[in-house]
Amino acid sequence: MPDRRGLLIILSSPSGAGKSTLSRRLRDWDPTISFSVSATTRAPRAGEVDGRDYHFLTEAGFKREVADGGMLEHAHVFGNFYGSPKGPVETAIDGGADVLFDVDWQGAQQIQNSSLGQHTLSIFILPPSIDELHRRLKTRGQDSAEVIAKRMQKSWDEISHWAEYDYVLINDDLDETEARLKSIVTAARLKRIQQPWLNEHVKQLHAEFEEMT
Ligand code: ADP
Ligand code: 5GP
């Protein structure tokens, strides 16, 4: 038996608040954390690789996966379908490895309410201000002015769900936010439910105790 069960770590934020940057830093810190590669019906962006960034599916293929029960959660975001395939998550957490999810609030709600809900750790990332959020979206230089405007418009919808998460981080100073994120993950890994082997350990302690008395 692995020495612990894996966690489903959910990171959500309005686009531009720093979720991808923090996900990357968390996985650099502990490369055993795997990333849940979502499925989507949107077209790949320049540089995106099928199977690494997303599993790019047709709408019919996506709907078939959902009907077959293959998605842990799914949602309609910015006019496209997105979902998290279930199989790789179950394999990872049973083997004691954490899985990181970059999903919106709809995905977070569904994962928290799923059969794996008790093993989730949900974290919401807030920007220090709306001006700064806008600045980060512009300096990232990935999207057109039109797409940035759309993301800014959607940001309040995402922020309005902040209170549904276990933890909330204001991503002002990046290094400080990273340190807090690591502390949260370290603590969640020590939750009793994440350490099923404890029963055996306590049984062993009991046997030793009985022997001594
Ligand atoms: P998201 O994944 O939430 O859309 P990103 O991680 O891509 O956001 O971050 C958006 C931009 O803001 C990137 O250019 C990133 O380098 C920058 N960024 C992230 N966190 C901070 C921070 N704490 N301070 C300043 N810039 C940041
Ligand atoms: P993008 O198209 O920019 O990669 O992602 C757009 C939005 O879709 C982001 O807010 C992201 O969190 C969300 N998203 C990506 N993958 C999933 C997923 O598997 N499920 C859900 N519910 N949302 C997702």
- Taking only the tens place, the pLDDT of each residue in 120-163 is 999 999 999 999 999 999 998 878 899 899 888 889 999 999 99
d(CA 152, CA 15): 8
The whole-number average pLDDT for the span 47-55 is 95
Ligand that lies nearest to the alpha carbon of residue 82, given by its number in the listed order: 2
Sign of torsion over alpha carbons 126, 130, 132, 137:
positive
Say what the pTM is.
0.91
d(CA 195, CA 60): 40
Instruction: For residue range 172-193, list pLDDT tens digits in order.
Output: 999 999 999 999 999 999 999 9
Q: 142 CB under 6 A from ligand 1?
A: no
d(CA 25, CA 179): 10
Nearest CA to ligand 2 atom 5: 77
Nearest CA to ligand 2 atom 24: 103
Instruction: For residue range 9-39, list pLDDT tens digits in order.
Output: 999 999 999 999 999 999 999 999 999 999 9
Look at residue 213 in the predicted model and tell me its pLDDT: 83
Domains, the chain, ranges and CATH? 8-36+96-212 (3.40.50.300)
DSSP 121-157: EEEEEE-S-HHHHHHHHHHH--S-HHHHHHHHHHHHH
Look at residue 1 in the predicted model and tell me its pLDDT: 60
Looking at the chain, the whole-number percentage of residues with pLDDT higher than 90 is 85
